[in-house]
Amino acid sequence: MSDIILSVENVAMDFDGFRAVGGEHGLSFNVNRGGFLGLIGPNGAGKSTTFNLISGVLKPTQGRVAMNGVELSSLKAAEIAGHGLGRTFQTPRAFPSLSVIDNVIVGSEHSEEGPLAALFGRWRPADVELHEKAEHALERVGLADRLHDSVANLSGGELRMLEVARQLNRDPSILLLDEPTAGVDPNLQVKLSEILVQLHADGTTLIVVEHNLAFLLNIADSVVVLQNGALLAEGDPDSIRHDPAVISAYLGADHET
Amino acid sequence: MTIYAIIIATLTFGAIFSVLTLSLNLQYARGGMINFGTVAYFAAGAYAYAIFTQEPPSGLDQYRFGFDMPWYVGFLAAGVASLLFALVTGWPTLRLRGEYLALTTFAFAEVFHSLLLNERRIGNGSVGLANVERPDPTTLGMSDTVGYALAAVVLMLVTAFVFNRLLKSPFGRTIDAVHDDEIAAQAVGKDDARIRLQVFIISAIPIGFAGALYAMITTLVAPAMFTAEVTFFVWIALVLAGEKTIVGAILGAMALVLFQELVKGVPFETVRGAQIAASVEEIVTGILFILVLRLRPWEKLSKRNAS
């Protein structure tokens, strides 16, 4: 069992009596340590809600989520992030008061972040190191020349990459990406795909929600398909491509890959 | 009233209220918290100073506590009192947002005011504590008024310096992140509730010190001095000169106090004239407030400078 890093067990989420995730029996799936899971499904299938349940933004109505055997349901989102879980959002979330580089640095575990360190100026050496590291993360996502820009000047795709850089910079052991290619230009998509392959090779566990299946199915090693909040299919990319239920529900009858 | 007296009074009270606007600037403009109970932290500081420095009760005194300590102990106690009051009021309320937090802090301040008014064992009820002990600036070769004006300005500058240092550090960066988007801040491991409470408490400490200084200058603390009017006054001062910057917070308080002192300084022939002037002063302050909110001159100015 030790190779399972994240387990979702019988999880269900109701919004005002409407079951957004879980179907009749609750949603269950496991993610292997170092695995690359694609999470797909039609709009409204509950993919983003599932992310919110795992990362602690939402608390499940029933069921449990565990990471490395630690039950997450009772932890705050910030504590879950502290356990090494990183995530991006379907709508990119930047901090508009901060510059591009500060948007990344602020996500670091800063050893001298408290008010007393601020008062006595002890934070400077640690900050210099973090600055370099953040610069490197921004370089990886192609934002190296925008370090001191205001985030208001970034395009939607660049904001998405900024969010990816903020999480990369934290070296999460498990990273959840919500539609990372949406609005991102093709060159950057290639770059992103390279980053994900590299992270995968380095042993980071990845869970990626994506509508761009050509992008996802080429790099993921397993896929979970959701429909109406319930598990429709689970397997390796090849079997998902040819699963009749998946084709009729999501890929479309005339789908070719 | 001479021009000299007006300047000294403006510096003294302008600096004291600047400490309050600086704290609100940190809480509101950077922390995103609306505190409509500012006066309570100010009062907590003033009363703590008076109680720690006054003599134990005797004769007809109704208050129970008087520790007869030196002024600097009282001054420190004022900061601690305000800090503790912020902890007690912040802990249960900071999960609230916007206007809900404003209402709750306002209610806390009213309860505290009512407690001071009705509980005679703390501060003699509505009579208050008179003859508050204070250090004598003349021992340093300064006149009384100049000495306290200087003290107030120093407190203001130290507060501005400390807050500026906080905001320019990683702590300030985190405050901005939590203010901008708490969900995204949580996603990088920032405990937004803890950070908000830290900001709330830190910004309350100088308010307590300002309260102590206010008590020294007026040599009296009484519930009538600590009404919601003080809260509204500092909020108006903050908004007047632009709530976003430290300089704005100071200029607003100084300008509003100067305006008040000028009206006070007019030599009225009749009581009726003074009454009218007092009402006009409040009306003009109100109109200024509405105009600034409506026209947003500072935002336009900063946008023009940026482009």
Average of pLDDT values for B43-63? 91
Burial class (CB within 10 angstroms; exposed 0-12, middle 13-18, buried 19+) of A228: middle
pTM for this model (two decimals):
0.90
- Provide the pLDDT for residue B303: 76
What's the pLDDT band for B307 if we cut at 50, 70, 90? low
Chain A residues close to B183, C-beta within 8 Å: 57, 77, 89, 93
Measure CB to CB from residue A95 to each of B177, B186, B189 and give the nearest one: B177
Chain B CB within 8 Å of residue A149 CB: no
Chain B residues close to A96, C-beta within 8 Å: 180
Chain B CB within 8 Å of residue A123 CB: yes
User: What is the DSSP secondary structure assignment for residue A208, as one 8-state letter?
Assistant: E
Q: Inter-chain contact A106–B188, Cβ cutoff 8 Å? A: yes
- Provide the pLDDT for residue A1: 43
- Provide the pLDDT for residue B1: 60
Average of pLDDT values for B192-198? 93
Rg (CA), chain B: 20
Measure CB to CB from residue B180 to each of A97, A107, A127 and give the nearest one: A97
Range in A67-76, B45-54, B182-191, B261-270 the model is least confident about:
B261-270
DSSP notation for A133-193: HHHHHHHHTT-GGGTTSBGGGS-HHHHHHHHHHHHHTT--SEEEEESTTTT--HHHHHHHH
* Domains, chain A, with CATH or none: 4-94+171-251 (3.40.50.300), 95-153 (no CATH)
The DSSP bridge pattern shows strands A27-32 and A18-21 to be unpaired
d(CA B49, CA B69): 9
Average of pLDDT values for B229-249? 89
Which residue pairs from B127-131 have beta carbons closer than 8 angstroms and sit at least 24 positions apart in sequence?
B127/B62, B127/B222, B128/B220, B128/B221, B128/B222, B128/B223, B128/B224, B128/B225, B129/B47, B129/B50, B129/B51, B129/B54, B129/B63, B129/B220, B129/B221, B129/B222, B130/B219, B130/B220, B131/B54, B131/B219, B131/B220
Q: What is the pLDDT of residues A63-95, one digit of tens each?
A: 999 999 899 988 999 999 999 999 999 999 999
User: Does residue A257 have a pLDDT over 80?
Assistant: no
User: For a pLDDT cut of 70, what percent of chain A falls above it?
Assistant: 96
Nearest CA to A104 among A68, A140, A72, A80?
A140
User: For a pLDDT cut of 70, what percent of chain B falls above it?
Assistant: 99
Q: What is the pLDDT of residues B76-123, one digit of tens each?
A: 999 999 999 999 999 888 888 888 999 999 999 999 999 999 999 988
